[in-house]
Amino acid sequence: MEPTTDAIAELYRHIREAGHPVALTGAGVSTLSGIRDFRGKNGLYNDMDAEKIFSLEYFMEDPSFYYKHAGSFIYNISEKEASVVHLVLGELEKRGFLKALITQNIDLLHQKGGSKNVIEIHGSPEMHYCLRCAGVRMGFDEVAALVHAGDMPRCPKCGRVLKPAITFFGESLPAEALRRATAEAQQADLMLVLGTSLTVYPAASMPDYTLRNGGELIIVNNMPTPLDRSAAMCFEDLGEVFEGLRRALSAG
């Protein structure tokens, strides 16, 4: 669907009239901030071994591989600005039009855009910890400074390289985040599905919870998803859609 003035007005009406609207976001929402997605047209999977970068088994063998390759798209996050998508989602929450934001992203940009109730189901680089020593923690800014200097964060007790609290392949999703996300998806009468191909589970199952409980989906993604036919509305261009929503919010 083209993001015409009428289509944006209808989308805004859906959001305003929903009793418990929730958003699910994937890597596509951050491309407007200059962060490449994973499975999109110009995704990292096209020229980078992302599965190896985020492999727990490989991290245990050679943590330097993660820090060397993740530096360019994780530890320069502080240099990135929230896009119109992040900002509008933050404003929707502020006005009470969005109850929760479930994200697969690990870039912290939703928080920068003003969202408060962010459920990070794939973890977060905000904290790094030792896989051996309990209680050893290091924050994002300190780790980023080390990575930019060509170093890695290490445990002061055992010297082991610290791991980010990102969910790597081979790890379970954070149990509490998954519980909260599932509860929000089940309660939602409207879910905005934004910038995700809906191919990575269990995150991709969240819209199914909403549909099974009688809720509606609105999907905005630059590639088809398995649930397009089940959606009340589908759009392709996140930037155009959210610029239109920003204008609608400004007009009241």
Contacts 24+ apart (CB under 8 A), 42-45: 44/73
pTM summary value:
0.89
Instruction: Give me the DSSP letters along 25-94.
Output: E-GGGGGGGT---SSSTT-GGGTS-HHHHTBHHHHHH-HHHHHHHHTTTTTTGGG----HHHHHHHHHHH
CA distance 159 to 15: 50
CA distance 172 to 153: 23
* Rounded Cα gap, residues 24 and 33, in angstroms: 18
Give the per-residue pLDDT at 194: 97
Q: How many CB atoms lie within 10 A of CB 8?
A: 20
Low-confidence residues of the chain, pLDDT below 70? Answer: 36-49
Domains and CATH numbers, the chain: 1-35+82-122+173-252 (3.40.50.1220), 36-79+123-166 (3.30.1600.10)
d(C-alpha 33, C-alpha 36), whole Å: 9
Catalytic residue among 20, 69, 110, 122: 122
* 122 is an active site residue: yes
Cβ neighbours around 201 below 10 Å, total? 9
Using one digit for the tens of pLDDT, what is the confidence trace for 36-66? Answer: 655 555 555 445 567 788 899 999 999 999 9
CA 35 to chain centre: 12
